[in-house]
């Protein structure tokens, strides 16, 4: 099997193995790791179409994580996709209103982040052994609501690791907040910041880039890594579920072998849709990648005019995991679009850091023609959720609602009737208040858990364990800080606190 090596999108580091890239999270030059080339799938879809999720994940991931042995990788997969998921299928495909909703929310924290963050701790600890690392690995991550809980759940009490999560105090749903602040584990810490997700993400990147701080940590036997989608160990597992969805369509007779599909993804940090794009590069028959944004439509504008401009008002919406103006993973697509010119990517990222914008060349924009941008404001999102419920009884969350609304607009405008997989990224229970408001037409005067019970009455599936667990769970994490003081908070946790 071909050995795949990784290099930084900013060109400043030697090529490394997959396990080293996963261990580091972010390259030393601030760039993101990317494979030197995309291997092609070495299987026929018909051969795999009746296989389970674990077998599919292995066949996909082995190609990109080529320095992991079969035993190592299968061990990671077995530990990740177990009974923490409430369905044996792991990622069921549900047909409603002519589209296929890929339900990625059946894990511990009822959001799509579980699909990758269930396996990342095992990939990371395996990588540490492979690379002879004796240091304690501390995961430092920013979250717009879902990554934080999923990462903490995955790393909870994993030997030799710790995890610190920063989230925007006023930028997550109450259920998301409760899931984080009640998190158990002697190695978990959560900090609310006074700012938005972009502030949290920028603060984390700044800490990673501080060489003096890294030296101080090293002297204490600690090294940082990331659980954000900037870590290639987050991105690779996500490729698997698009392949799995295709195999299910094939097995169910919804498509013919090698027939192309469209994929529509609610998008914030650009990792989830990038995974679908990489699947296409590896041989998955994908036609269009429909990038669905909410009112923070920085990606929609980018695909329309080739200008990435974060200089705009930050809007808090009912789809908070998409309330992002700096889509970190877009850097990986930029890197590919300019012929993997690390120096050029570095120049654009410096422009973004200094002036908040950059412009791609016409050739780079043409390279991205597989992507179609669309966006849905709050009114359109709520109308889409209600329309789908009224016509089919199927209940979706507010992020999936954005994708569904954008898909409807795309289909109406283009008359493209290609079979379409919509990434359903969170359980409706996670944003029950907004979902109920969308369906009933007005905000309900109920408590969080009354709203959840009402949603269940209206036809949502069984209330997940993740919701039931937080109902009476004690709050364990109360830290908060200004975004400028994030490093001080990390130092306090690591050097003066419980550890």
Q: Is residue 22 part of a domain?
A: no
Q: Is residue 160 part of a domain?
A: yes
C-alpha to C-alpha distance for 460 and 468, rounded to whole angstroms = 15
- The answer to whether residues 249 and 345 belong to one domain is yes
Q: Are strands 357-359 and 307-309 parallel, antiparallel or unpaired?
A: antiparallel
Q: How many C-beta atoms lie closer than 10 Å to residue 14's C-beta? A: 7
- Sequence-distant (6+) residues with CB within 8 A of 493 are 164, 189, 479, 499
C-alpha to C-alpha distance for 383 and 377, rounded to whole angstroms = 10
- The answer to whether residues 201 and 160 belong to one domain is yes
* DSSP codes joined into one string, 49-103: TT--HHHHHHHHHHHH-TTS-HHHHHHHHHHHSSTTSSSTTSS-EEEETTEEEEE
- The answer to whether residues 214 and 281 belong to one domain is no
The encoded tokens of residue 421 equal 């997989």
Strand partners, 142: 166
- The answer to whether residues 277 and 145 belong to one domain is no
- The answer to whether residues 195 and 262 belong to one domain is no
Cβ atoms 147, 109 nearer than 8 A = no
C-alpha to C-alpha distance for 116 and 112, rounded to whole angstroms = 8
- Sequence-distant (6+) residues with CB within 8 A of 490 are 140, 164, 207
* DSSP codes joined into one string, 425-450: -B-GGGGHHHHHHHHHSS-----HHH
Q: Is residue 74 part of a domain?
A: no
Residues annotated as catalytic are 113
pLDDT of residue 230: 87
The encoded tokens of residue 329 equal 């993973």
CATH of the domain at 296: 3.40.50.1100
- The answer to whether residues 169 and 310 belong to one domain is no
Q: Is residue 145 part of a domain?
A: yes
- The answer to whether residues 275 and 396 belong to one domain is yes
- The answer to whether residues 254 and 397 belong to one domain is yes
Q: Is residue 264 part of a domain?
A: yes
Q: Is residue 27 part of a domain?
A: no
Domain enclosing residue 485, as ranges: 136-220+464-498
- Cα 445 to chain centroid, rounded: 32
- The answer to whether residues 264 and 189 belong to one domain is no
Q: In what order do the strands lie in the sheet with 93-96?
A: 93-96, 99-103, 420-424, 261-266, 286-293, 371-375
- 499 residues of the chain, pLDDT tens digit each: 789 999 999 998 789 999 999 999 889 899 999 999 999 999 999 999 999 999 999 999 999 999 999 999 999 999 999 999 999 999 999 999 999 999 999 998 999 999 999 999 999 999 999 999 989 999 999 998 888 899 999 999 998 999 999 999 999 998 999 999 999 999 999 999 999 999 999 999 999 999 999 999 999 999 999 888 889 999 999 999 999 999 999 999 999 999 999 999 999 999 999 999 999 999 999 999 999 999 999 999 999 999 999 999 999 999 999 999 999 999 999 999 999 999 999 999 999 999 999 999 999 999 999 999 999 999 999 999 999 999 999 999 999 999 999 999 999 999 999 999 999 999 999 999 999 999 999 999 998 899 999 999 999 999 999 899 998 899 999 999 999 999 999 999 999 864 4
- The answer to whether residues 404 and 478 belong to one domain is no
Cβ atoms 30, 205 nearer than 8 A = yes
Spell out where 349-490 has E strands: 357-359, 371-375, 420-424, 479-482
pLDDT of residue 497: 66
- The answer to whether residues 456 and 469 belong to one domain is no
Q: Is residue 178 part of a domain?
A: yes
Per the structure, the count of domains in the chain is 2
C-alpha to C-alpha distance for 428 and 406, rounded to whole angstroms = 18
- The answer to whether residues 270 and 287 belong to one domain is yes
Q: Is residue 38 part of a domain?
A: no
Cβ atoms 165, 141 nearer than 8 A = yes
Hunting for tokens 């061990």 — which residue is that?
75
């Amino acid at each position: 099997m071909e050995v795949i090596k990784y290099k930084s999108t900013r060109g400043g580091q030697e090529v490394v193995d997959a396990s080293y890239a996963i261990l580091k999270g972010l390259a030393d030059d601030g760039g993101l790791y990317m494979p030197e080339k995309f291997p092609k799938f070495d299987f026929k879809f018909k051969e795999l179409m009746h296989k389970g999720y674990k077998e599919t994940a292995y066949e996909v991931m082995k190609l990109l994580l080529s320095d992991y042995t079969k035993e190592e990788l299968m061990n990671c997969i077995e530990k990740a996709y177990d009974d923490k998921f409430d369905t044996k299928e792991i990622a069921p495909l549900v047909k409603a209103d002519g589209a296929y909703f890929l339900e990625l929310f059946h894990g511990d924290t009822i959001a799509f982040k579980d699909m990758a963050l269930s396996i990342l701790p095992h990939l990371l600890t395996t990588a540490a052994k492979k690379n002879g690392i004796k240091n304690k690995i501390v995961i430092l991550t920013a979250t717009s609501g879902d990554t934080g809980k999923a990462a903490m759940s995955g790393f909870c009490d994993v030997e030799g690791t710790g995890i610190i999560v920063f989230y925007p105090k006023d930028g997550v749903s109450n259920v998301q907040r409760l899931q984080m602040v009640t998190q158990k584990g002697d190695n978990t810490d959560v900090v609310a910041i006074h700012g938005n997700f972009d502030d949290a993400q920028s603060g984390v990147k700044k800490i990673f880039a501080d060489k003096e701080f890294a030296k101080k940590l090293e002297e204490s036997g600690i090294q940082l890594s990331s659980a954000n989608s900037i870590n290639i160990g987050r991105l690779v597992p996500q490729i698997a579920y698009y392949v799995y969805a295709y195999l299910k369509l094939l097995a169910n007779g919804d498509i013919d072998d090698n027939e192309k599909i469209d994929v529509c993804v609610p998008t914030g940090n650009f990792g989830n849709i990038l995974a679908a794009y990489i699947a296409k590069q590896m041989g998955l028959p994908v036609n269009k990648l429909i990038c669905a944004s909410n009112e923070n439509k920085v990606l929609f504008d980018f695909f329309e005019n080739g200008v990435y401009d974060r200089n705009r008002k930050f809007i808090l919406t009912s789809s908070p995991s998409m309330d992002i103006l700096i889509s970190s993973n877009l850097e990986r697509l930029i890197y590919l679009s300019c012929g993997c010119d690390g120096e050029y990517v570095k120049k654009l990222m410096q422009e973004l850091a200094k002036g908040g914008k950059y412009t791609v060349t016409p050739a780079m924009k043409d390279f991205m023609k597989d992507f179609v941008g669309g966006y849905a404001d709050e009114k359109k999102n709520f109308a889409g959720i209600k329309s789908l419920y009224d016509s089919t009884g199927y209940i979706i969350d507010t992020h999936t609602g954005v994708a569904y609304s954008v898909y409807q607009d795309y289909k109406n405008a283009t008359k493209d009737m290609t079979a379409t997989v919509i990434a359903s990224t969170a359980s409706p229970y996670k944003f029950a208040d907004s979902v109920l408001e969308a369906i009933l037409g007005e905000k309900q005067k109920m408590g969080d858990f009354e709203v959840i019970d009402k949603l269940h009455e209206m036809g949502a599936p069984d209330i997940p364990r993740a919701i039931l667990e937080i109902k009476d769970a004690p709050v364990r994490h109360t830290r908060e800080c200004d975004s400028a003081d994030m490093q001080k908070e990390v130092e306090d946790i690591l050097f003066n606190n419980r550890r």
